[in-house]
Amino acid sequence: MSEYGRRAVHASGVGMPLLYLLDLATWNQLRYFMLGVTAVAFVLEFLRLVVGLNHWLYDELTRPYEADSVAGYAFYMLSVTLVAVTFGPSVTLPAVLMLAVADPISGALSDNGAHEHKRPAVIGATFGLCFLLAVPFTAAWSTPAAGAAAAAGGALLAAIADGIKPIIRGVAVDDNLTIPLAAAVGIAGVFWLLGVETGFDPLGF
């Protein structure tokens, strides 16, 4: 699969927010769905890495450096699910969209290696895109001013997480893991400072 094919699969994560926005699932039903998909992802990774069950789809979806480590799609599901079981829609939906939409577009704009930071211009473009994705949701659950501030806070941290990857023991931390978490912290943090309800409800099913 080409890199653009991987990005298209990446963008398919938009389907999770759509289930809620189109009233096809309640918020708790979406959370349970995400927990189930995450469990399946890690079972598949166990079968691939421990049991040795390799399927052609693994080769198509994973990059060479993921051959002996947990693949990005599992981190993707883990991160968005952690956000969903911790916060309400006003925080979770923008965080998921920043990963599903802004991250692959940022990847298409950049030419950095897996262990290299992205150019400032790409980080700036990612910030702008993340802000535009977030503000309709953050403003809908607050006021236009508070929503814009929260969207900016989430977009800033998401753009940094996307563009500047921490290196731990020579391994770059996967941004599929860090982008939604950073975005959620930024949005929820600004909402908290402004006294806006964030739907903070860990495991509150």
- Asked, for residue 44, whether it belongs to a domain, the answer is yes
- Asked, for residue 14, whether it belongs to a domain, the answer is yes
Domain that holds residue 99: 3-194
SS3 percent helix, strand, coil of the chain, rounded to 5, is: 75, 0, 25
Residue range 110-157, pLDDT digits in tens: 776 656 678 899 999 999 999 999 999 999 999 999 999 999 999 999
- Asked, for residue 150, whether it belongs to a domain, the answer is yes
Residue range 157-204, pLDDT digits in tens: 999 999 987 776 666 678 899 999 999 999 999 999 999 988 777 766
Question: How many domains would you assign to the chain?
Answer: 1
Q: Could you tell me the pTM of the whole model?
A: 0.89
Nearest to 103 by CA among 92, 81, 85, 118: 118
Question: For the chain, how many residues are written?
Answer: 205
**Would you say 89 and 101 are in contact if contact means Cβ atoms under 8 Å apart?**
no
Environment class of residue 50 by beta-carbon count within 10 Å: exposed (0-12), middle (13-18) or buried (19+)? exposed
- Asked, for residue 204, whether it belongs to a domain, the answer is no
